Amino acid sequence: MSWIILIFILILASVKNRNKKRELTVSVIIPAFNEEKTVGEVVKVVKSLNYIYEIIVVDDGSTDNTGEVAKSAGAMVISHIKNRGKGAAIKTGFNNSKGSVAVFLDADIQNLTAAKVDKIIQPILINEADVTKTKFKREAGRVTELTAKPLLNFFFPEIKFEQPLSGQFAAKRSFLKDIKLEDDYGVDVGIVLDADVRGMRIKEVDIGKIDHVLSSLHELNIVATEVVRTIVDRATEYGRITMIDTLGKHIRMGLLGLSLATLGFFCVFFIRFFPVQLGLLISLIGAIIAIFYIIRIFRTSIRPLIKSDGKSRSLRSFFYMHSPMIVSGLIMVAMLATLLGSVHIDEGKISVEPTSRNLIIWKNVTENKSFDIRGPYLVDSALENESSVIRSPPDAMSSLGLGYEDVIYINQRRYNLSQNLPGEENVLRIPYDAREYFGLNIRDIIPDTNLRNVFKNLYAERNLILQNAGYLTIKEGVILRSGEEDGKNINIYLNDQIISSTTGIINNGTYSIYVNGVKYREVFINKDKPTTTIYIQSRLDTVKIVVEGNVKSDMEIPTAGRGKFLNVIF
Which H, E and C letters describe 145-213, residue by residue?
A: HHHHHHHHHHHCCCCCCCCCCCCCEEEEHHHHCCCCCCCCCCHHHHHHHHHHHCCCCEEEEEEEECCCC
Which amino acid is it at 324? P
Q: Does residue 418 sit in helix, strand or coil?
A: strand
Would you state the pLDDT for residue 427?
A: 93
Contact (Cβ atoms closer than 8 angstroms) between residue 288 and residue 256: no
User: Given a cut of 90, is residue 239 above it in pLDDT?
Assistant: no
Which amino acid is it at 500? S
Beta bridge partners of 203: 132
Task: Report the alpha-carbon distance of residue 433 to residue 386 in Å, rounded.
Answer: 12
pTM, two decimal places: 0.46
Task: Report the alpha-carbon distance of residue 513 to residue 80 in Å, rounded.
Answer: 104
**What confidence tier does 454 reach under pLDDT thresholds 50, 70, 90?**
very high
Region label for 522, one of left (φ > 0), alpha (ψ between -120 and 50) or beta (otherwise): beta
Which among 68, 58, 62 has a CA at the least distance from the CA of 97? 58
**What confidence tier does 243 reach under pLDDT thresholds 50, 70, 90?**
low
Give the DSSP letter string of 88-106.
Answer: HHHHHHHHT---SEEEE--
Would you state the pLDDT for residue 261?
A: 85
Least confident of 39-48, 172-181, 240-249: 240-249
Task: Report the alpha-carbon distance of residue 155 to residue 513 in Å, rounded.
Answer: 87
User: Given a cut of 60, is residue 463 above it in pLDDT?
Assistant: yes
Phi, psi of 179 (to 5 degrees): -120, 170
Same fold: 23-237 with 358-455: no
Which among 77, 324, 108 has a CA at the least distance from the CA of 212? 108
Q: What is the mean pLDDT of residues 500-523?
A: 92
Task: Report the alpha-carbon distance of residue 570 to residue 567 in Å, rounded.
Answer: 10
* Per-residue pLDDT reduced to its tens digit, 528-566: 899 999 999 888 889 999 999 999 999 999 999 899 999
Domain coordinates in residue numbering, the chain: 23-237, 246-340, 358-455, 459-569
Beta bridge partners of 345: 350
Q: Which fold has domain 358-455?
A: Barwin-like endoglucanases (2.40.40)
Task: Report the alpha-carbon distance of residue 305 to residue 278 in Å, rounded.
Answer: 39
Task: Report the alpha-carbon distance of residue 200 to residue 131 in Å, rounded.
Answer: 7
Dmax over CA atoms of the chain, in Å, equals: 130
Which sign does the torsion angle of CA 380, 386, 392, 397 carry? positive
Beta bridge partners of 205: 134
Q: What is the mean pLDDT of residues 25-49?
A: 93
Region label for 310, one of left (φ > 0), alpha (ψ between -120 and 50) or beta (otherwise): left
Phi, psi of 123 (to 5 degrees): -55, -30
The continuous run of DSSP H or E covering 70 comes out as helix 66-73
Q: How large is the C-alpha radius of gyration of the chain?
A: 42
Q: Give the number of other Cβ atoms within 10 Å of residue 392's Cβ.
A: 24
Q: Give the number of other Cβ atoms within 10 Å of residue 338's Cβ.
A: 12
Would you state the pLDDT for residue 368?
A: 44
User: Given a cut of 90, is residue 109 above it in pLDDT?
Assistant: no
The continuous run of DSSP H or E covering 568 comes out as strand 566-569
Would you state the pLDDT for residue 370?
A: 47
Q: Does residue 509 sit in helix, strand or coil?
A: strand
**Is 23-237 a domain of CATH 3.90.550.10?**
yes
